[in-house]
Amino acid sequence: MTTDPIIQLEHVNVARGNNIILHDLSLTVRAGEHLAILGPNGCGKSTLLKTVTCELYPIVSPETQVHIMGRARWDLTELKRRMGVVAADLPGRQTLTTTGFDAILTGFFSSSTLWPNLHVTDAMRERAEEVLHLVGGEKLRDKFVGEMSAGQQRRIMIGRAMAGTAGEAQMLLLDEPSNALDLAAQRDLREMLRGLAQKGVAILLITHHIADILPEIERIVMMRDGRIVADGSKKELLTAERLSGLFGGEIHMTERDGYWNAW
């Protein structure tokens, strides 16, 4: 069954500063797909994510197209809310003194805290409760984000990203989600993301850690020097030979319980 594309990029070139970072890049992601975008440092993964969230715009050319959830134009706040973007950093200093529950509610407004002028509805509270439960954050409800561990913060930030995504296209975009987490927190995060993937939340994961690739992720997109150099199934692409070519040097792989490790 094919579903409508959530992300549709055609012949996209993106510049940052004086350099062109993405070169003639085309990518289509459909609703419900789980995929990982892999590539070495500086290959343009985060630039691609920022293009998808319309924080960066492509150089205009006749063949270039960017359609996100079927639309070429978006209000940035609404798009971020609908896409479920999990950034590597907290949204602002105010978040540190915001409780876990309120931090999830800020996802409806893309704000750093619950400013007094924001109108929180009963439906939002209900959804935030649901999300708090989904991410297993019940114990973090009344704790200040600034007093949480990195893993607990990540959990709440994933909840925040999910708050506004109820409905037809639930998708999480994660940029290096396991950075700065210890081994146990990495495992907890992966298991939580697996649970969400199994509940139908589409996962788009940007990483250079092979161990972050959930068993549910079936599609791998490989990037190098601002280009997509391979796009296919995990079986085809997650091999020692392919990864050695992508990252350079000799890489070995082992598989255990659906997860892969590379060294």
Ligand X SMILES: Nc1ncnc2c1ncn2[C@@H]1O[C@H](COP(=O)(O)OP(=O)(O)OP(=O)(O)O)[C@@H](O)[C@H]1O
**Interface positions with ligand X (CB under 6 A):** 16-17, 21, 39, 41-47, 208
Nearest CB to ligand X, comparing residues 46 and 113: 46
Nearer to ligand X, 47 or 99 (CB): 47
Name the token pair of 132. 């708090």
Specify whether the CB–CB gap between 204 and 173 falls below 8 A: yes
* Contact present, 172 and 157 (Cβ < 8 Å): no
Minimal distance, residue 48 CB to ligand X, in Å: 7
Least CB distance to ligand X at residue 109 (A): 26
Phi, psi angles (nearest 5°) of residue 41: -50, 135
The b-or-e profile of 127-150 (16+ CB within 10 A means b, else e) is bbeebbebbebeebeebebeebee
Least distance to ligand X from the beta carbon of 176, Å? Answer: 7
Nearer to ligand X, 19 or 121 (CB): 19
Q: Quote the DSSP letter at residue 252.
A: -
Which distant-in-sequence residues (6+ apart) come within 8 Å of 6 by Cβ? Answer: 29, 30, 31, 68, 69, 169, 171, 202
Smallest distance from ligand X to CB 14, Å:
9
Neighbours of 81 (CB within 10 A): 19
Q: Closest distance between ligand X and the C-beta of residue 76, in Å?
A: 17
Residue 7, both tokens: 């992300």
The amino acid at 204:
L
CB of 167 to ligand X, least distance (A): 29
Contact 141, 101 (CB under 8 A): yes
